[in-house]
A and B are shown apart, each in its own frame.
Chain A
Amino acid sequence: MSHTHTHGNKDDSHHKAAPMVEEVTDYEVLEIAVRELAIEHGLFTAEDHRRFTEWAESIGPAAGSRLVAKAWTDPAYKTLALTDGLKACKEIGVDWAEPTGVGTPSDYMEFHVLEDTPTLHHVIVCTLCSCYPRPLLGMSPEWYRTTNYRRRLVRWPRQVLAEFGLILPPEVEVRIEDSNQKCRFMVMPVRPAGTENWTEEQLAEIVTRDCMIGVALPKPGRTADVHPIQKARRPVKSSHQEAAQ
């Protein structure tokens, strides 16, 4: 009996699954082999490995948001964040040296917070691969790892930022910081107007992941869970709408 995989829309019958690498490489085999042996030798358990895998894939940018919000409200902490990023991370419960459960996935130990000013804007990138401050920001977004972003940002930063909807005035210098194997960075944006007397928790909500990469600016009312609200200027009537009329 034949079966067509659909989701209730006739057009879905043409949907193709994303391609996969149909090849077992020695790298894949090596990773499995060494992990199995490590478990058999009692170096760690399969359960622990599963838990760390689940955690590594689920941590988000909340720690980075907390760091920025704390720095905005506590001048002494801000000084610490700008002079000793690792120590500042420890104060908010993120230890880059030890995977403590809230700390680090495997990463490196050189970390700097880049302070934006009204005339200086930072953006982070990894031109070589996908280095990213994961203990603070979680897994990097897919676009961060694309060659489109990695190669073009360093050449045409304003153009790339404009593609994210961020258009900076010419008097603002744009500085691109290239992460690498040894060193990770994170952007501390300028605290926006209209947030006076806000609590750290309120401030943390508007410091989204993209603000700490540098492709967006924090703004009161703009949080990570807010959906776009701009209506299309020239909407085209879809077949769904026509059918509903």
Chain B
Amino acid sequence: MSGDRIPLLEATRSQDKTWEALAPRYGVTNPNPPWKTSLTAMCDCLAVSGALPALERRNAEDELADTLYNDIPSPERELLALVHTMVSRGLVSEADLVSRMKTVRARLEEV
């Protein structure tokens, strides 16, 4: 069911690490996190390719924004809702995501 909680996303969600909370801590004035436009483009790509039509994604996001992720601000909420919808529909698996997040983090933190 699309409304079921996804453990990975429960572990990822954090009010303390949203851009709204993080940017002032570092004195950053840019209103959006650096990944925001990439997220927008990803939604558009999914719509154009037919993998996830825009209206279906928006409706799912509306529902999830009101329920599971209502305490998380935008754009983090958009990201969580998108990934939630993709996992629910089998477009990506939670296990693959868990694994990939580890390798991505290691890459980003590599000195």
Task: Give me the interface of A with B, judged by CB distance under 8 Å.
Answer: 18-38, 41, 43-45, 48-50, 52-53, 55-57, 97-99, 104-106, 108-109, 129-130, 142, 145-146, 181-182
Query: Chain B interface residue count: which class?
Result: 35 or more
Are A43 and B26 neighbours in the complex by a CB distance under 8 Å? no
CA distance A185 to B42 in the complex (A): 24
Min CB distance, A96 to chain B, in Å?
Answer: 9
CA distance A25 to B23 in the complex (A): 12
Say yes or no: A105-B35 contact (C-beta < 8 A), given A24-B109, A34-B82.
no
Are A21 and B100 neighbours in the complex by a CB distance under 8 Å? no
Are B74 and A99 neighbours in the complex by a CB distance under 8 Å? no
Within the complex, which residue of A106, A108, A145 is in contact with B44, where a contact is CB–CB below 8 Å? A106
Say yes or no: A57-B22 contact (C-beta < 8 A), given A29-B104, A36-B104.
no
Are B44 and A29 neighbours in the complex by a CB distance under 8 Å? no
Say yes or no: A37-B45 contact (C-beta < 8 A), given A26-B14, A30-B79, A31-B39.
no
Min CB distance, B52 to chain A, in Å?
Answer: 8
Are B37 and A53 neighbours in the complex by a CB distance under 8 Å? yes
Are A43 and B45 neighbours in the complex by a CB distance under 8 Å? yes
Are A29 and B26 neighbours in the complex by a CB distance under 8 Å? no
Say yes or no: A97-B100 contact (C-beta < 8 A), given A21-B22, A43-B91.
no
Are A35 and B33 neighbours in the complex by a CB distance under 8 Å? no
Are B65 and A181 neighbours in the complex by a CB distance under 8 Å? yes
6 A-B residue pairs with CB within 8 Å: A20-B26, A25-B14, A26-B12, A38-B42, A43-B52, A106-B58
CA distance A50 to B38 in the complex (A): 8
Are B101 and A43 neighbours in the complex by a CB distance under 8 Å? no
Say yes or no: A53-B27 contact (C-beta < 8 A), given A29-B105, A38-B86.
no
Q: What residues of B have a CB within 8 angstroms of the CB of A35 in the complex?
A: 38, 42
Nearest 4 CB-CB pairings of A with B: A44-B45, A52-B41, A106-B43, A145-B31
Q: What residues of B have a CB within 8 angstroms of the CB of A21 in the complex?
A: 22-23, 25-26, 28, 33
Are B37 and A34 neighbours in the complex by a CB distance under 8 Å? no
Within the complex, which residue of A27, A29, A38, A130 is in contact with B91, where a contact is CB–CB below 8 Å? A38
Q: B108: CB under 8 A from chain A?
A: yes
Are A31 and B58 neighbours in the complex by a CB distance under 8 Å? no
